[in-house]
Amino acid sequence: MSVFGDTLRQARAQKGITLRQAEQEIRINRHYLAALEDETFENLPALPYQRGIVRTYAAYLGLDQTRLVELFDEARGTRPDDPPRIEMIEPVEMPSHWAPNFAVIAFTLIAGAIIFAWLYSAYFKAPTVSDSTMLDLQPTVTRVSEDQIFVPSPTPDLPTPTATAVPTEIPVDPPTETVPPPATEDAAAGAISNSPQIQAISVETPADSSTGESGIARSVPSELPNGAVAIRITAQADIYVQIAADGVQYFQGNLVQGESTDWIVGHTFSVYTTSGANTLFTNNQGTQFVMGTEQGEVVYTL
């Protein structure tokens, strides 16, 4: 047995932790932990998950994760069925160039000029010729002689009018209201049949992918052909994640707490996350694990 297995066993013994206790706290099958300590690597899942289990177990025991992964690779060696390793994908920082919207600026200036011109013409314009004429008119008093004064003559007495007969009113029957006939059931049925009906809208869901080819799937079986595996990520806090499988990026975006991605199928994976401790991995065999305890940004290679 090499140094790798003894290091894990001694670290666990110093902390006084059993395999069952470790299984409950880090949510990794105790048989996998025992296989690491005994260096029986054939009892472990696929290679991408083995390194993740080593990182999680080393962080739990307070050991250097990078050093333990190197010891694991030395103890395990290279096997013919191992998938090729891919380099980490560094996040690309795109510079942000702010450019003013000249169309909005031009529209604002034109609108302001129109409003200013209207206000100026309405309140500050010079008076016109007709307005000046009205302002120059002043009322004058003209004297009138006594011969030009009109005196009204007395009104003559008018004859008294005689009383006339008052016409009698003839009673007229009030008009009767015409009541429309009640609607029948046939008429109501016809009105209902003529009303438009809402048609149902069918939504197709994507089919499950179980061919072993790299890509995204809604559901996957526990065993995939061609040595492929599938992972998905569940956010234990609000994080930003990028997932690449076999050199192709299939997911990039934000995940809120409790939200999960679809299944990503492939042979090798590179995962960038803004918080390693809050990034929970799940494989298609139902095993859940975390790759590390980093609180900040980190890139994992599976």
Q: How far apart are CA 62 and CA 235, in angstroms?
A: 24
Which DSSP letter does residue 291 get?
S
Give residue 211's Cα distance to chain centre.
31
pTM above 0.75, yes or no: no
Q: What is the pLDDT along the chain (302 residues), one digit of tens a residue?
A: 578 878 888 888 888 989 899 899 989 888 988 888 888 888 888 877 888 988 998 898 888 999 888 888 888 776 555 555 555 565 656 655 566 688 999 999 999 999 999 998 888 765 555 555 555 556 566 676 666 665 556 665 665 655 555 545 555 455 455 444 444 444 434 433 444 333 332 233 344 566 678 889 888 888 888 888 899 999 999 999 999 999 999 999 999 999 999 999 999 999 999 999 999 999 988 999 998 888 889 999 98
Per-domain boundaries in the chain: 3-76, 215-301
Tokens standing for residue 291: 């790759």
CATH of domain 3-76: 1.10.260.40
**Which residue reads 């980093």 in tokens?**
294
HSE, side-chain direction, 13 A CA sphere, residue 56: 27
Ordered alpha helix ranges (H), the chain: 3-15, 19-26, 30-38, 47-61, 65-76, 102-123, 129-136, 185-194
Q: How far apart are CA 288 and CA 44, in angstroms?
A: 14
